[in-house]
A = this chain, B = another copy of it.
Amino acid sequence: MSKKKIHNENEDLQILLQRAFYLLNRYKLVEGFVNLQGDSGQVLADSSVQKRNLDELQHFIDYLHPADIADILEALPLEDRLIIWNLVKTELDGEVLLEASDAVRETLITGMGINELLAATELLDADEIADLAPDLPREVIDDVFLSLPTAERERLREAMSYPEDAVGALMDFDVITIRENVRLEVVLRYLRRLDELPDHTDQLFVIDRNEHLKGVLLVSKLLVSDPDIKVSEVMTKEMITLHPDDNAQQAASAFERYDLVSTSIVDNNGKLQGRVTVNTVIDFIRDKADDKERNLAGLSEEEDLFSPVLKSVKNRWAWLAINLVTAFIASRVIGLFEDSIAQLVALAALMPIIAGIGGNSGNQTITMIVRGLALGQINTGSAKKIILKEIGVSVINGIIWGAVVGLFTFVIYQNAALGLIMMLAMALNLLLAALLGVLIPLTLRRLGRDPALGSSVMITAVTDSGGFFIFLGLATIFLL
């Protein structure tokens, strides 16, 4: 960690990146020159110029925090990324891999040999190795496993046994445990015998001889209390505990609500298993927010800015395919009314307005409902009130926007009846959007599915096809 001031958004990273680009380009320029020169150039490559370039690049990288190296690697095209990656010191490799996104991590690991990967992982803790494990070749995992002491092996096995969204996957085994019948003086002397405390140690865990958690001694309490009193007198017995199978989302919410720095994980029998710390929780929250953002646009997490074209195509195709199917359906709905359109071609120009605004309005409702569900704010008692509210909003919007589009239509086409049909169709499609904007996510939730996934596609499909049907249907009945 370096002493520095942070001025405005990403300025630091931008400065680091500029420096990286500058050094890289100077290095690559000479390298390219060497390749042009062929054999005689080889002399130049060993020359002092290129050596100095490489030294400067090396010096620049050696000075960086692993999180910053990871960020720079994320922002570099593949070729440059690998040049920098090869210059990172082996002892930092593991930490940089941990900090990198899944897509970038994969590009880094692909270029590494078994021995390099072994060297990178063997310096990590069991819980960190478990985080990397899904991206490592099978044989590396096996070798790493064999190289660990027995206790660490058990931890690795345990950490790897939890699904990504379980608290167990966020678990850190590095805890300090004490007994309740000793004086604080003894605790202080015990701590002084350690070289350092685990990161984020804001509490010591009080266990009995069976490793059952009896309470926690807050470090802040330890510091303000008389050293002569016993742990049992100042320890906190009322504390939040998590279970390894708990949902990680729920743990994140507990950290947020109760302002935690760390919390214990105990098994069904109350035996202390490990802890979760706030830095892991922040990373989890950030990852989830990232996932959500990408899911909304149909991107999986496997793509970085510089992913190869074919990989990106693969990453994005499913979403486009689903939307294409809904577009085909909407197209066939319009196809039903081709005779009507042939008679009054203005319908073709007007129908996307009804469908589009219905989609926008439906997505506003969906966003409110999905958010309410995620925060646990909606239950059967309040669902009816919410539906009534959304219907109310859609009726008022229907009147306002219906009048606007009706007027627009009248001004353009000088056709009052067509204007009235537009108005009516708009109001009905907004009502449809409101109803299904509430019902789609609630139904998905009841079916045990994540309402955040798919709700938006479904509402857009409904308001497109539904909007075309309502508008063209009304026009066919009343105008033709």
On whether the beta carbons of B240 and A393 are closer than 8 Å, the reply is no
Q: Which residue of B lies closest to A369 (CB)?
A: B305
In whole Å, how far is A205's beta carbon from the nearest beta carbon of chain B?
A: 14
Chain A residue total in the interface (Cβ 8 A):
149
Q: How far is the CA of A307 from the CA of B338 in the complex (A)?
A: 43
Report yes or no: A6 in contact with B251, Cβ–Cβ below 8 A: yes
Count identical subunits in the complex.
Answer: 2
Q: Is A50 an interface residue (CB 8 A)?
A: no
Contact A323 B7 (CB under 8 A): no
Q: Given the complex of chains A and B, what is the CA–CA distance between A81 and B246 in angstroms?
A: 30
Report yes or no: A257 in contact with B75, Cβ–Cβ below 8 A.
Answer: no
**Which of A258, A348, A363 neighbours the largest number of chain B CB atoms within 10 Å of its CB?**
A348
A192 in contact with B319 (CB, 8 Å): no
Q: Tell me, rounded to whole Å, the shortest Cβ–Cβ distance linking A101 to chain B.
A: 9
Distance from A188 Cβ to chain B, minimum over Cβ atoms (Å): 7
Q: Chain B residues with Cβ under 8 A from A207's Cβ?
A: none
Query: Which residues of A (293-329) have their CB < 8 Å from a CB of B?
Result: 293-294, 296-299, 303, 305-307, 309-310, 312-313, 316-317, 319-320, 323-324, 326-328
> Which of B2, B18, B246, B294 is the one whose CB lies under 8 Å from A7?
B246
- With A197-B224, A353-B331, A368-B299 known as contacts, the answer to whether A238 contacts B3 (CB < 8 A) is yes
> Complex: how many Å from CA A67 to CA B240?
14
A341 touches B345 (CB 8 A): yes
Question: Which residues of the partner chain B approach A232 to less than 8 Å between Cβ atoms?
Answer: none
> Digit string of A340-366 for contact with B (CB within 8 Å is 1, else 0)?
011001111111110111001101101
Given contacts A313-B396, A401-B324, contact A75 B364 (CB under 8 A): no
Q: Which B residue sits closest to A252, measured CB to CB? A: B282
| Residue contact B197 to A8, C-beta cutoff 8 Å | no
Q: Is A65 on the interface with B (CB-CB < 8 A)?
A: yes
Q: In angstroms, how far is the closest chain B Cβ from the Cβ of A102?
A: 14
Closest-CB distance, A201 to chain B (whole angstroms): 6
Contact A368 B6 (CB under 8 A): no
Q: Is the CB of A220 within 8 A of B246?
A: no
A364 and B327 contacting across the interface, CB-CB below 8 Å: no
Cα–Cα distance between A286 and B252 once the two chains are bound (Å):
11
Q: Give A268's nearest chain B residue, CB to CB.
A: B5
**B191:A68 contact, CB within 8 angstroms:** no
Closest chain B residue, CB of each to CB of A389: B309
Docked-complex contact A196 and B220, CB < 8 angstroms: yes
Binds B, one of A122-130, A149-157, A380-388: A380-388
Task: Decide if A250 is an interface residue (CB 8 Å cutoff).
Answer: yes
Interface status of A86 (Cβ within 8 A of chain B) = no
A17 to B377, CA, bound (A): 8
Known: A282-B285, A349-B331, A377-B74. A366 touches B297 (CB 8 A): yes
Asked if A392 is at the interface (CB within 8 A of a chain B CB), the reply is yes
- 23 A-B pairs (CB sep. < 8 Å): A1-B238, A2-B238, A5-B241, A5-B242, A5-B243, A7-B246, A71-B257, A77-B385, A99-B257, A200-B259, A285-B286, A290-B371, A305-B386, A305-B389, A309-B396, A317-B397, A324-B401, A324-B405, A332-B349, A332-B412, A334-B348, A334-B352, A345-B348
A92 at the interface (CB under 8 A from B): no
Q: A144 contacts the other chain (Cβ, under 8 Å)?
A: no
Residue-wise interface mask of A (377-413) relative to B, using a CB-CB cutoff of 8 A (1 in contact, 0 not): 1110110011001001100110011001100100010
A412 touches B335 (CB 8 A): yes
The answer on a CB contact under 8 Å between B191 and A224 is yes
Question: Are B11 and A309 interface neighbours, CB within 8 A?
Answer: no
Q: Which of B18, B191, B345, B371 contacts A293 (CB 8 A)?
A: B371
Q: For the complex, is A10 an interface residue (Cβ under 8 Å from B)?
A: yes
Can you name the residue of chain B whose Cβ is closest to the Cβ of A372? B305
Q: Quick one: which of B4, B253, B327 contacts A357, CB cutoff 8 A?
A: B327
